[in-house]
């Protein structure tokens, strides 16, 4: 049964990237203001906040983030809880908010995600990110996140013949889409040759196969359908949501060419929405690495297993293709402040659906899909959104 009662009425993000001199709380407040008072939603209407942030303890030596961030953003006093699921923190916060509204508990809530990552060196950030994997049995081997997805890439290449050039094409597409996105970390197109510069991070993944280390924040306001029209003429409904987990250890998976939590969360969300992949006009997927976009495009049912790379090569997933994926540039080129990402993905789908994506507008925009992924794929959240008037 499709969800009945939850609408998105605003969504905004800060610029993503190296936000020198701007602290986590400052960017959080900026995103909150953009999603509330700047679009005519008074802060006093917000009844609770669902906050996504992954690991400020290691990045900025700060825990207990939700009240701190809320206080700074002028929302002191509200029930405020942090949701943590590594890179899927943002979407787990969003999902909790959806359930709170569906249940009738609240009418209007804030969902906001953020991360400040450039406060530490790349090696320290790599170490902090590695805490999203099993510290006892995998991180302790020196396995990193690029390494996790490199292992998946090697398996996908062996089974389906996916090539390093296919991976590079995903990077070229991401940078192309981000080149017209003023909020992106990288706003420059790259050539295939540049994407294939052999600077290995975790072989076979090169620099341009990786999402960067980023700062940034994103926020959305959710409200009951009844109240939605009070805030906007073009509400977007949450029609399906799914979440699944998988083994923390990569080695405990049977297959490295697919992520079972993605498959399972997608099925749940499609079933709830009463829709299938063919009904989706576009998708925003968790492309923390180029291979992750290719695998996700298969796991969410857009393409058969092993056919994601072909779809990419054929331009099917390009901004002007039949099934655009990551039309604004994805994590790869827009940046990946981990706790912000899941919320930012919802912001992107929202902006596309209401036709306010500017140069990055997809042609068909009634129904959109988002896929947010955490850690080794041990968490996945999928949401399906549809414009109320569609």
Partner 1 sequence: MSEKPTIEQYIKNIDEHNFKAYKCVGCGAVTAPPSGTCYSCGGNEMDWTTVSGKGKLVSFTVIHIAPEEFQEEAPYFVAIIELEEGTRITTRLMGFDPMAPENVKLGTSLVLDYEDGKSGRTYLSFKPA
Applying CB under 8 A, does 212 fall inside the site for partner 1? no
How far, in Å, CA of 128 to CA of 57, rounded? 9
Applying CB under 8 A, does 144 fall inside the site for partner 1? yes
Applying CB under 8 A, does 203 fall inside the site for partner 1? yes
- Distance of alpha carbon 248 from the chain centroid: 20
Contact 142, 125 (CB under 8 A): no
**271 burial via Cβ count (<10 Å: 0-12, 13-18, 19+):** middle
Candidate residues 22, 154, 207, 318; the one interacting with ligand COA per rule CB under 6 A: 207
Active site residue 336: yes
Applying CB under 8 A, does 150 fall inside the site for partner 1? yes
Interface with partner 1 by CB under 8 A: which range of 14-22, 68-76, 128-136, 342-350? 128-136
The strand pair at 215-224 and 6-13 is best described as antiparallel
How far, in Å, CA of 61 to CA of 63, rounded? 7
Applying CB under 6 A, does 288 fall inside the site for ligand COA? yes
Applying CB under 6 A, does 210 fall inside the site for ligand COA? yes
Candidate residues 30, 138, 298, 352; the one interacting with partner 1 per rule CB under 8 A: 138
**Interaxial angle between packed helices 338-353 and 89-102, expressed in degrees from 0 to 180 and rounded to the nearest 10:** 60
Applying CB under 6 A, does 208 fall inside the site for ligand COA? yes
Interface with partner 1 by CB under 8 A: which range of 105-113, 122-130, 268-276, 367-375? 122-130
Residue 137 site contact among ligand COA, partner 1, none (CB < 5 to 8 Å, cut-off depends on kind): partner 1
Torsion angles phi and psi, residue 238, rounded to 5: -85, 110
CB of 174 to partner 1, least distance (A): 20
Closest CA to 54 of 197, 214, 202: 214
Applying CB under 6 A, does 201 fall inside the site for ligand COA? yes
**105 burial via Cβ count (<10 Å: 0-12, 13-18, 19+):** exposed
Applying CB under 6 A, does 146 fall inside the site for ligand COA? yes
Residue closer to ligand COA by CB (options 45, 127) is 127
Interface with ligand COA by CB under 6 A: which range of 133-141, 211-219, 262-270, 346-354? 211-219
Among candidate residues 175, 336, 365, 371, the one labeled active-site is 336
Torsion angles phi and psi, residue 115, rounded to 5: -155, 140
Candidate residues 86, 169, 250, 275; the one interacting with partner 1 per rule CB under 8 A: 250
Candidate residues 40, 42, 81, 122; the one interacting with ligand COA per rule CB under 6 A: 122
Applying CB under 8 A, does 58 fall inside the site for partner 1? no
**Interaxial angle between packed helices 65-72 and 24-35, expressed in degrees from 0 to 180 and rounded to the nearest 10:** 60
DSSP 96-108: HHHHHHHTTS-SE
**Positions in the binding site for ligand COA (CB under 6 A):** 87, 122, 126, 129, 145-146, 186, 201, 207-208, 210-213, 288, 336
């Amino acid at each position: 049964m499709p969800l009945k009662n939850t609408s998105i009425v605003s969504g905004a993000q800060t610029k993503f990237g190296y936000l020198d001199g701007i602290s986590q709380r400052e960017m959080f407040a900026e995103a909150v203001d953009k999603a509330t008072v700047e679009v005519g939603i008074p802060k006093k209407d917000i009844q609770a906040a669902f906050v996504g942030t992954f690991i400020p303890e290691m990045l900025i030596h700060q825990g207990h983030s939700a009240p701190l961030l809320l206080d700074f953003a002028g929302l002191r006093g509200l029930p405020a809880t942090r949701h943590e699921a590594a890179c899927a923190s943002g979407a787990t916060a969003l999902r909790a908010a959806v359930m709170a509204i569906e249940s009738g508990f609240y009418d209007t809530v804030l969902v906001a995600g953020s991360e400040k990552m450039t406060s530490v060196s790349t090696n320290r950030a790599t170490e902090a990110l590695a805490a999203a994997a099993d510290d006892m049995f995998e991180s302790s081997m020196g396995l990193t996140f690029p390494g996790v997805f490199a292992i998946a890439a090697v398996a996908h290449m062996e089974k389906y013949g996916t090539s390093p050039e296919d991976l590079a094409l995903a990077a070229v597409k991401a940078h192309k889409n981000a080149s017209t996105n003023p909020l992106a970390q990288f706003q420059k197109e790259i050539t295939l040759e540049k994407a294939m510069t052999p600077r290995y991070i975790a072989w076979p993944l090169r620099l341009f196969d990786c999402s960067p280390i980023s700062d940034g924040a994103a926020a959305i306001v959710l409200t009951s359908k009844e109240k939605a029209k009070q805030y906007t003429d073009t509400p977007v409904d949450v029609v399906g949501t799914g979440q699944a987990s998988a083994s923390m250890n990569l080695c405990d998976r049977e297959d490295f060419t697919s992520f079972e939590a993605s498959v399972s969360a997608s099925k749940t969300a499609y079933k709830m929405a009463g829709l299938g992949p063919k009904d989706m006009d576009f998708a925003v997927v968790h492309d923390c690495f180029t291979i992750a976009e290719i695998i996700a495009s298969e796991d969410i049912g857009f393409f058969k297993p092993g056919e994601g790379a072909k779809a990419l090569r054929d331009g099917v997933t390009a901004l002007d293709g039949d099934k655009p994926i990551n039309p604004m540039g994805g994590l790869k080129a827009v940046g990946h402040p981990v706790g912000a990402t899941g919320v930012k993905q919802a912001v992107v789908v929202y902006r596309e659906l209401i036709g306010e994506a500017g140069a990055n507008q997809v042609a068909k925009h009634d129904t959109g899909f988002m896929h947010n992924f955490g850690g080794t794929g041990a968490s996945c959240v999928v949401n399906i959104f549809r414009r109320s008037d569609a």
